[in-house]
Each structure stands twice: as structure tokens, then as C-alpha cells.
Amino acid sequence: MVSLCYRSLLHFVMEDNLSGLQNFLENKRVLVDDKDENGATVLHYAASRGKLSFVRELINHGADVNIEDNDNWTALLCAAKEGHTAVCLEVLDHGADIEHRDMGGWSALMWATYKNHVETVSLLLERNADVNAHGNYHISSLIWAVGRGYVDITRMLVQRGAKVNVGDKYGTSALVWACRKGNPEIVECLLRAGANVDTAGMYSWTPLLVATMGNHVEVVNLLLESKPNVNALDKDGCTALTIACKEGYHDIAVALLNVGAYINIQDRSGDTNLIHAVKGGHRSVVEALLKKYADVDIPGKERKTAMYTSVEKGNVAIMKLLMSANPDLEIATKDGDTCLLRAVRSRNVEAVQLLLEKKARVSASDKRGDTALHIAMRARSKGIVEVLLRNPKNSQLLYRPNRAGETPYNIDMNHQKTILGQIFGARRLNTNEDNEKLLGYDLYS
């Protein structure tokens, strides 16, 4: 239970009644270090509120500047956290322990840094606070400063000898944290102080990888001047270029390509940078990769090529770009799908036409033995059937059975309103085996 003495002292401070406090303290029976239920004294309260005159009065009447509450907080920690520099100076002048830590291992300097109290940090550094002290998770003042984007404090800490290459619990260095924040001034400061540009922290993230993730173009360019390993991999097997291609960060992708980043590298799933750019529909990145002669035929995850992926996404503009690189249109996926089969499944007439113009094989079949005509007939895609049958030779495929014995012709005939009837009129088609090979040509006579 809180004592009457504590409540009286606190009341005077809360009411800003300095004369009342002075009169009360003149009573020699006052216990100036009485505590509340959390172990805090009135000095803790006055320090946290920046009440300098009250702090002085309490200290002059014997208050212990190093007394701790239940969480190991002292008056100095309370004042530093709130940025009350004058109070910090007062308690330091009366013997406060500048390196005292709270329950989490945080010093006054760490708290002042975390809260961006520049003047307080300056005072603590002048009083030789340990610039490399760290708390839980091994996070130092410098890491807090760079991670939160505090330029002035970062410079002050570096000038005072903060170790720029010491990482947190997971090995993540100050430079990685700075690159995540994306502040060029801080990054430049750390690089000048000798920060290792290739240090990898949590998830194998290097400064370059993290800067790329945030699309921090200026930071990436600063890092590239220090010649980092541009092909370093994260835990998923992605390079900085892979990330830029995935996200469509054109400027970063170009910068990385210009310094020799591997173009055709595959991530852990097998996808290339080009496939990632196609998946994301990032046309300008695709163009940049093709200018550097990216291989369009490398199969990625599930053996899908960049061309197949563009068909799957229905992105005709990117399809046209990729076709300029003469891709192999017959590379099949793990399910036996070619680009043309995928386009037909998607009922994308424009894509089908483009692929046929590039001589895609209409006779190609998937694992079930289905050709493009099987798929189109089953989907009742009249427009695509018409496109496929514009070349008379393809009409022979109307009678080619799949593994289940189905022909495109039979699939069509099972419907009351046939597609072939709509295209070629009501006359009955001769399906006699002797005439099958001629039928396609007859239809166009």
C-alpha cells in the first residue's frame, strides 16, 4: 500500500506546488525515497515529467538518483526516454550511473536514441556513455538510429566510434537496417565509416537485397558504387535482380544489369528473371532483359517458359515482345501443354492467331492426347475452331483420336448444334476412312 508520505510528495509535484514541496520536505521525518506499488519514487515521476526544479529539490533533500523501480528504471532512464536533457544533466551531476540498464538491458543512451532526442544523445555522448552498448536482441543505439532513419544521431554515434559492422541477434548489420529504411544520407555515412556492403543478416538479406525490396533506387546506386556481390542470394534463392524483376522495379533492374548481374539465374522453384517479369506483367523490365539477351526458352516451375507464362496470363503485348526473340513454341509443360494448347484452353483468339502466325504446331497434343481442336471443340469455342481450320491441312486433325478414342469431330457431333455445321453449312460431312485425308480440302472447295 502506498504511504501517506509518498502521496503527499507526489501531490505537490503533480500540482506544480514547489513551495509546498519545500515546506513539506523541511519536516525531517519525510522519507523522500518512499515508493509506490511499482517501486517508483517521486523522483522517478518528476524526472519523467521534466520537472527540473522539483528534481533538484528532491535531490537536495537526499533523494537517491540511482534508486530503481520494479523494472530497474532510474531517474536518468526516465528523463532520457522523454528527452528531458536538463534533468539528465542534473542527475548525472549528482552521481547517476550513466550505464545503468533497465530490465530489457536498455541504457539511457539507447532510450534517447530510440526516441530521437538529439540533445539528450549529445549530452550522454559528451559524458562518455558507452556508444556500443546493446539491449535485448543485441540491438545497439546505432542500429536503432539507422533503422528509424535518424540522420543526426547516426552521424553523432559514428563520430563517437560506434561499431558499424556489429549486427543484432540475427546478424543484421546497421547497413542492412539503413537500406531497409531507404535513407541515402545514412547509408552514405555508414559506407564512409567502413560498413561491410556484403554482410548478410536474417533470411540471408544483404544491404543490396533489402534496398531492392524497398525500391530505394538512390540507395541501390550508392551500394553499387561500393561494388557489392550483386548475385548474392536470399533464403529463396533470389538475387536483387530477381526481386526487381518480380516487382517491376525497372530502374533498379537496369542498374543491376549494367553491372553484370546474372540474367538467366533461376530461383529455388526454377523460375528465371524473365519469367518473373512476365508473370508480373512488367513490360519495361521484359524489354530490358531481352536487350541483354535473356534466354526465352529456359523452362521454369512446372516446366513453364516465359512464352508459356505470357500466354497463361493472357498478356498479348508481352507475347509480341517475346516473339521477337524467336522462342521455341513447342516446349511442353509437365502436363504436356504447349503455348498453343494453353491459348486455346484460355479461349484467347488473339493469342491463338499470333501463335499460328509463328508456326505453332496445331498437331501438338497434351498427355491425354488432346490437340488444340479437341480442346476447342470441348469448350465450344467456335471462333478458335475457325482460326485453327483456316489452314486446310489442319482439317485432318478433326479425326485424330486422343488416348480415350475421342476425335474432335465426334466431340462436336455429340452436340445438337455443331460448330462444324455452323462453319461449313448443313451438308453432311463424309467421315468414311478412305476420304478422311481429303475431307479437309473438300471443305474448302
pLDDT of the residue at 194: 97
pLDDT of the residue at 348: 97
> Cell 516451375 belongs to which residue?
301
> Cell 445438337 belongs to which residue?
416
* Angle in degrees, 0-180, between the axes of helices 174-181 and 184-192, rounded to the nearest 10: 160
Closest CA to 147 of 167, 124, 119: 167
pLDDT of the residue at 254: 98
Vertex 211 angle, CA 207 and 214, to 5°: 145
**Chain centroid offset of residue 242 CA:** 12
Q: What fold is seen in the domain 1-130?
A: 1.25.40
CB-side neighbour CA atoms (13 Å) of 265: 20
pLDDT digits (tens, 9 = 90+) for 230-278: 999 999 999 999 999 999 999 999 999 999 999 999 999 999 999 999 9
Domain ranges of the chain: 1-130, 131-227
pLDDT of the residue at 28: 67
Write the CB contacts of 417 (distance below 8 Å, at least 6 apart in sequence): none
Give the architecture (CATH level 2) of 131-227. Alpha Horseshoe (1.25)
The rounded average pLDDT for each run of 10 residues, N- to C-terminus, in the chain (445 residues) is: 88 96 87 94 98 97 96 98 98 98 96 98 98 92 96 98 94 95 97 96 93 98 97 94 98 98 96 98 98 97 98 97 97 96 97 97 96 97 95 94 96 93 66 43 38
pLDDT digits (tens, 9 = 90+) for 282-335: 999 999 999 999 999 999 999 999 999 999 999 999 999 999 999 999 999 999
pLDDT of the residue at 21: 94
Q: Which residues pair with 134 in a beta bridge?
A: 140
Closest CA to 394 of 385, 404, 403: 385
Write the CB contacts of 9 (distance below 8 Å, at least 6 apart in sequence): 21, 24, 30, 32, 34, 42, 58
Phi, psi of 415 (to 5 degrees): -110, 145
Query: Given this chain, do its domains 1-130 and 131-227 carry the same CATH topology?
Result: yes
Q: How many CB atoms lie within 10 A of CB 402?
A: 18
Closest CA to 187 of 176, 172, 198: 176
Q: How far is CA 329 from CA 348, 354, 406, 436, in A?
A: 16, 11, 25, 28
pLDDT of the residue at 1: 67
CB-side neighbour CA atoms (13 Å) of 42: 33
What's the one-letter identity of residue 387?
V
Exposed e or buried b for every residue in 250-268, given b needs 16+ CB within 10 A?
A: bebbbbbbeeebebebbbe
CB-side neighbour CA atoms (13 Å) of 316: 10
pLDDT > 70 in the chain, percent: 95
Q: What is the pTM of this model?
A: 0.86
Residue 425: all three cell numbers together: 453449312
Vertex 344 angle, CA 417 and 310, to 5°: 155
